[in-house]
Amino acid sequence: MAKQEKFKFAAGDLRRARSFAQRAYEAIKEQLDPHDLNKVNKIAVESKLLIRTRTQPGESQAIIDVPLMHDLTMYAIGSNCRGCTKHDWKKCHLRSVLMDTYCPPTQETKTDSQYRQ
């Protein structure tokens, strides 16, 4: 009981934040076409709003400096994508990881891997 009362002063702010997030979500949904609305609804079902401090990563998260991330990415591309001859490049695990981490492609193409060199 004592732990719940410790944050009682912020209960109103937390309720307002939740309400604001719900209103923002509804406003976004109104602006989307049916195809994008289905994507957003799927993401909303599979996701939850989580407020966490920046200094404390989650269980499956880590904080990595941008220069280190850049070095790791360049090493991965240089070691795996240079001279790659995979025909089924859409199933490449490294390509999907790079795309999921919003790594900019080395080439803009739709007929080959964006990271192949």
Per cent of the chain over pLDDT 70 is 78
Does residue 1 register a pLDDT over 50?
no
**Closest C-alpha among 110, 108, 99 to residue 77:** 99
- Tell me which DSSP letter residue 48 carries: -
Rounded distance, CA 21 to CA 23, Å? 6
Does residue 3 register a pLDDT over 80?
no
**Closest C-alpha among 57, 65, 29, 56 to residue 44:** 29
Does residue 51 register a pLDDT over 70?
no
Q: What is the pTM of this model?
A: 0.44
Q: What is the CA radius of gyration of the chain?
A: 21
Rounded distance, CA 90 to CA 86, Å? 9
Instruction: Specify the pLDDT at position 58.
Output: 64
